[in-house]
Chain A
């Protein structure tokens, strides 16, 4: 007696096939969600850059005594309405010509802006988000007032 190959598929095979398809679907949905988180990060970077430029512009217009070197916290909308991004910044002035200040002082203003989106639309974990900070610099020559 010869065994004839069985036609069709068993229920177990169908279940396994669906499990594989469901896994692939989940992976694809996750990919699209990561894609939108990536574009949200781009929007955050745009806002952070302009915010950093603004802080440096303000600092350039001030005297060294007025420079605020504390951590500053500011919230701005940069993507969907269900989340708002909190921006943190710190200004670090560095005197480039110590002792050589007949005409004035040359400073380099280093500014670091970092951020974290908050709210229901934000990422729950930092994993895979990459660097969420920017460093900006400006050189400013402060003339002696005497």
Chain B
């Protein structure tokens, strides 16, 4: 009797089912692996961004005097999810450059403040921007640190901030959920809470997009403060 050649329908169906299962497993590995890679990449990126903006803010704050620091509280309400978040502004004395004899008072060596730095989070939607902008000092050059008298919400706009000098504007982050500042007069410190949030793929939740968060709490003491408490 001659052996039948080829495959029966049953064999074909079984082979295809086996292959389908194999591909499903391989696809699962690939999907979870790539989601894990993307998540970890976003997580590291968010940490780097937070550390970068923290370094910038702390460096500038340490160089100023606590007497010159002022802040504006702002809140916005987000729709999805319903959440009220802080988007504060911070303003303090600064020097345009640390080099140059004329920038320091001859007798005391105190800095002759010639500009202000403004840090603020924009209020445009869930992903706010954190901006560092240098604005002009309207008062004559002096070593007495003072808060910017005219500091208002008009200084906390981006883009199109007319107070900016020398085009000195830096975009520190585009993923700010909240930026909150508190001045602690008792020990002359500036407490800051920065909350960054980024959309990222979540592992094991299908097509739903996860949200990656990072909240840093830090305090800084302006070192050019006199008298110190």
Contacts and interface: CB of A to CB of B under 8 A. Distances in A.
Interface string A6-35: 000001001000100110010011001101
Contacts, number: 107
B51 A39 contact: no
B207 to A, nearest CB: 16
Given A39-B44, A81-B212, A121-B202, 9 more contacts: A11-B14, A25-B29, A32-B33, A33-B36, A47-B217, A58-B189, A58-B219, A79-B43, A79-B213
Given A36-B39, A47-B214, A77-B195, A21 B219 contact: no
A42 interface: yes
Contact of A78 (B51, B200, B214): B214
Given A32-B33, A32-B36, A80 B215 contact: no
Interface in B188-227: 188-189, 191, 195, 197, 200, 202-204, 210-221
Nearest to B220: A57
B40 interface: yes
A80 B210 contact: yes
10 contacts: A28-B32, A29-B29, A35-B36, A36-B40, A39-B43, A40-B43, A42-B43, A42-B47, A50-B218, A80-B202
Interface string B44-88: 101100110010000000000000000000000000000000000
A80 B40 contact: no
A62 B229 CA distance: 10
B187 interface: yes
Contacts of A67: none
A124 interface: no
Interface of A: 11, 14, 18, 21-22, 25, 28-29, 32-33, 35-36, 39-40, 42-43, 46-47, 50-51, 53-54, 57-58, 61-62, 76-82, 121
B152 interface: no
Interface of B: 14, 18, 21-22, 25, 28-29, 32-33, 35-36, 39-40, 43-44, 46-47, 50-51, 54, 186-189, 191, 195, 197, 200, 202-204, 210-221
B215 A33 contact: no
A14 B16 CA distance: 13
Contacts of B195: 77
B28 A29 contact: yes
A54 B217 contact: yes
A57 B211 contact: no
A14 to B, nearest CB: 6
B215 A47 contact: yes
Contact of B212 (A50, A58, A79): A79
A33 B18 CA distance: 26
